[in-house]
Amino acid sequence: MSNKYSFFGAVEKSFDKAAKFTKWDKGILEQIRQCNAVYQMRFPIKRDDGSIEVIEAYRVQHSHHKAPCKGGIRFAAEVNQDEVMALAALMTYKCTIVNVPFGGAKGGIKIDPKKYSPFELEKITRRYTSELIRKKFIGPGTDVPAPDYGTGEREMSWILDTYSAMHPGEIDAAGCVTGKPISQGGVRGRREATGLGVFFGIREVCNMPDIMDKLGLPTGVEGKKVIVQGLGNVGYHSAKFFQDAKAKIIALAEYEGAIWNENGLDVDAVFQHRKKTGSILNFPGANNFAKTGEALEMECDILIPAALENVIDGKNAPNVKAKLIGEAANGPLTPEADEVFAKKGIIVVPDMYLNAGGVTVSYFEWLKNLSHVRYGRMEKRFTENMNSQILSQMEELSNKKVTDSARQMILHGPDEIDLVYSGLEETMINATREIMETWKDNPAIPDMRTAAYVVAINKVATAYSELGIFP
Ligand code: NAD
């Protein structure tokens, strides 16, 4: 695939396109656009067979307008400086759109994790963390990593353990990384947060009658035909929440192949089939696509690329038949693809806010770590007692009893998961509305991505101006 722009170049292009719709001075725009700090490192590890391998890795802090910086760490053979810079920049814009008070950052280790044993992966993760500590590129108040492509709770535990061992007695150490297991200070709901945020964001767009009218679709998610690429953390959960909301998952794509069934696929069953057989292909009752890329070109209402960047470019974009594309992955569309879709009237719900569920719930996790208390612990029982009093009074006054199921619902005080889900839902709904209003207020803005960038630029620029950096 030959694209005109590098990934960071594509982010810069989108930024410049949006900057024209803002009133900010050229200097402020330039400060926002650039990466503030780029740390490229190389370190050796001893492999299980005794050989020594030099590992290439990165941490990029894109913006220091808020502290700490925040962004995931990815393990992938394709990791390079340009990619990490682009992802760090997207984090700044993402955080600001969903009002998470962090600067953007990203980390990457250039390895294919499938080719390393768990012991080797642990060594690499711990050594990477030590390198970050050495340069003060990690800490609850400076830079807080999280999972991304190829990493998960296990790697976050190793990071926390390494950080804690090297900072004995640091009371807020757990806040140095998010996406941890619950037992290590993680928050309930973090694992599925990005997928759930993707669902909330697209559902909000689907609930907008004017947008659905333009696409010739009824409002709501129910019955919509959905295709998801990537059955990893983000893709699996996105697909699952759409299925739970009665959308039809008509195709699923993985790197080894793709399958379809017009009547809908059961996401959990496909996931289990892949786990058992090692491939998504030959799922009972489904058809195999000849090539995995064909799944992106099948007729559907909503297409959700949730794997990697640059999967839809100028070449295959004209073949895409979806009416709405939800960018669950970071950077799945190239600027050329964007142009094709803008001309065709296809709505692209952009990555920089659509997949912000992960960082939003990471923010909740970080707050939990700093406050050292589980969400709901203080108010759950109090709320239940109050609800019980109110219900008794109402029943006494009306001389009627509510049903058992209604009683259970009314009395329920919030658990951590309830608060995390509702905090995320509120965040995604507000962000969607703010972007759409910005778009409507300025009809010259060509697409939703540009509108999202306008919102982001305005917020970061306001923060910089009010910091007094640009008197
Ligand atoms: P993951 O490693 O859990 O899953 C990625 C999946 O995509 C894997 O199952 C992989 O096999 C599959 N895949 C790889 N190449 C493919 C191809 N060519 N076609 C089809 N499938 C392919 O990673 P993830 O955490 O789900 O991240 C996916 C994307 O979402 C990345 O772009 C990441 O930056 C972005 N993202 C992740 C989070 C998060 O919380 N995990 C948050 C925001 C954004």
- Predicted confidence (pLDDT) per residue in 280-321, tens digit: 999 999 999 998 899 999 999 999 999 988 999 999 999 999
Is the Cβ atom of 308 under 6 angstroms away from ligand 1? yes
> How far is CA 133 from each of CA 98, 166, 269, 385, rounded to the nearest angstrom?
28, 8, 42, 47
Burial class (CB in 10 A: 0-12, 13-18, 19+), 187: buried
| Nearest atom in ligand 1 to 147's CA | 41
| Amino acid of residue 316 | N
For ligand 1, the distance from its centroid to the CA atom of residue 328, given in whole angstroms, is 9
156, 366 Cβ separation under 8 angstroms: no
Question: How far apart, in whole angstroms, are the C-alpha atoms of residue 36 and residue 95?
Answer: 16
Domain boundary among 184, 200, 233: 184
Q: What is the 3-state secondary structure (H, E, C) of the chain?
A: CCCCCCHHHHHHHHHHHHHCCCCCCHHHHHHHHCCCEEEEEEEEEECCCCCEEEEEEEEEECCCCCCCEEEEEEECCCCCHHHHHHHHHHHHHHHHHCCCCCEEEEEEECCCHHHCCHHHHHHHHHHHHHHHHHCCCCECCCEEEEECCCCCHHHHHHHHHHHHHHCCCCCCHHHHCCCCCHHHCCCCCHHHHHHHHHHHHHHHHHCCHHHHHHHCCCCCCCCCEEEEECCCHHHHHHHHHHHHCCCEEEEEEECCEEEECCCCCCHHHHHHHHHHHCCCCCCCCCEECCCHHHHHHCCCCEEEECCCCCCECCCCHHHCCCCEEECCCCCCECHHHHHHHHHHCCEEECHHHHCCHHHHHHHHHHHHHHHCCCCCCCCHHHHHHHHHHHHHHHHHHHCCCCCHHHHHHHHCCCCHHHHHHHHHHHHHHHHHHHHHHHHHHCCCCCCHHHHHHHHHHHHHHHHHHHHCCCC
Question: How far apart, in whole angstroms, are the C-alpha atoms of residue 218 and residue 231?
Answer: 27
Among protein residues, the one with the nearest Cα to ligand 1's atom 17 is 255
Structure confidence by residue, pLDDT tens digits, 365-377: 999 999 999 999 9
Is the Cβ atom of 420 under 6 angstroms away from ligand 1? no
Question: How far apart, in whole angstroms, are the C-alpha atoms of residue 113 and residue 244?
Answer: 31
Q: In this structure, are 168 and 206 located in the same domain?
A: no
| Nearest atom in ligand 1 to 332's CA | 32
In a domain, residue 236? The reply is yes
Phi, psi dihedrals of residue 306, rounded to the nearest 5°: -130, 35
The structure tokens listed for 249 are: 């998952």
pLDDT computed for residue 1 by the predictor: 44
In a domain, residue 102? The reply is yes
187, 369 Cβ separation under 8 angstroms: no
pLDDT computed for residue 292 by the predictor: 87
Domain boundary among 139, 159, 184: 184
The structure tokens listed for 168 are: 């004995």
Q: 236, 308, 310: which to mutate for ligand 1, most atoms within 8 A of CB?
A: 308
Q: In this structure, are 351 and 459 located in the same domain?
A: yes
For ligand 1, the distance from its centroid to the CA atom of residue 184, given in whole angstroms, is 24
Sign of the torsion formed by the C-alpha atoms of 43, 47, 53 and 56: negative
Question: How far apart, in whole angstroms, are the C-alpha atoms of residue 274 and residue 279?
Answer: 5
Q: In this structure, are 208 and 81 located in the same domain?
A: no
The structure tokens listed for 372 are: 């050292």
Q: In this structure, are 128 and 158 located in the same domain?
A: yes
For ligand 1, the distance from its centroid to the CA atom of residue 236, given in whole angstroms, is 10
Q: In this structure, are 353 and 258 located in the same domain?
A: yes
Is the Cβ atom of 234 under 6 angstroms away from ligand 1? yes
Is the Cβ atom of 149 under 6 angstroms away from ligand 1? yes
Give the domain range for residue 461. 187-379+414-471
Q: In this structure, are 164 and 136 located in the same domain?
A: yes
Question: How far apart, in whole angstroms, are the C-alpha atoms of residue 433 and residue 33?
Answer: 25
Q: In this structure, are 207 and 117 located in the same domain?
A: no
For ligand 1, the distance from its centroid to the CA atom of residue 85, given in whole angstroms, is 18
Q: In this structure, are 233 and 152 located in the same domain?
A: no
Q: In this structure, are 68 and 87 located in the same domain?
A: yes
Is the Cβ atom of 254 under 6 angstroms away from ligand 1? yes
pLDDT computed for residue 211 by the predictor: 96
CATH of the domain at 463: 3.40.50.720
Is the Cβ atom of 21 under 6 angstroms away from ligand 1? no
Q: In this structure, are 319 and 447 located in the same domain?
A: yes
Structure confidence by residue, pLDDT tens digits, 5-43: 889 999 999 999 999 999 999 999 999 999 999 999 999
Which residues contact residue 74 at a Cβ distance below 8 angstroms, ignoring those fewer than 6 apart? 87, 106, 107, 108, 109, 148, 149, 150, 151
pLDDT computed for residue 302 by the predictor: 98
pLDDT computed for residue 470 by the predictor: 60
The structure tokens listed for 456 are: 């982001």
Among protein residues, the one with the nearest Cα to ligand 1's atom 42 is 358
Q: In this structure, are 114 and 225 located in the same domain?
A: no
Is the Cβ atom of 306 under 6 angstroms away from ligand 1? yes
Is the Cβ atom of 292 under 6 angstroms away from ligand 1? yes
Active-site positions read 106
Domain boundary among 131, 166, 184: 184
Question: How far apart, in whole angstroms, are the C-alpha atoms of residue 74 and residue 400?
Answer: 57
CATH of the domain at 145: 3.40.50.10860
In a domain, residue 177? The reply is yes
Q: In this structure, are 165 and 47 located in the same domain?
A: yes
Is the Cβ atom of 307 under 6 angstroms away from ligand 1? yes
**Number of folded domains that form the chain:** 2
pLDDT computed for residue 467 by the predictor: 75
For ligand 1, the distance from its centroid to the CA atom of residue 261, given in whole angstroms, is 22
Among protein residues, the one with the nearest Cα to ligand 1's atom 5 is 232
In a domain, residue 248? The reply is yes
| Nearest atom in ligand 1 to 355's CA | 43
Is the Cβ atom of 229 under 6 angstroms away from ligand 1? yes
| Nearest atom in ligand 1 to 149's CA | 23
| Tokens 């658990």, residue located | 415
pLDDT computed for residue 464 by the predictor: 87
Q: 97, 194, 364: which to mutate for ligand 1, most atoms within 8 A of CB?
A: 194
In a domain, residue 69? The reply is yes
Question: How far apart, in whole angstroms, are the C-alpha atoms of residue 370 and residue 72?
Answer: 19
For ligand 1, the distance from its centroid to the CA atom of residue 207, given in whole angstroms, is 27
Which of 349, 122, 326, 114 has its CA nearest to residue 234? 326
Which of 365, 40, 349 has its CA nearest to residue 179? 365
In a domain, residue 174? The reply is yes
In a domain, residue 384? The reply is no
Is the Cβ atom of 194 under 6 angstroms away from ligand 1? yes
Average confidence (pLDDT) per 10 residues, the chain, 471 residues = 76 95 95 97 98 98 96 97 97 98 98 98 98 98 96 97 98 98 97 96 98 97 98 97 98 97 98 97 96 95 95 96 97 93 96 95 98 96 97 96 95 97 98 97 95 98 80 52
In a domain, residue 29? The reply is no
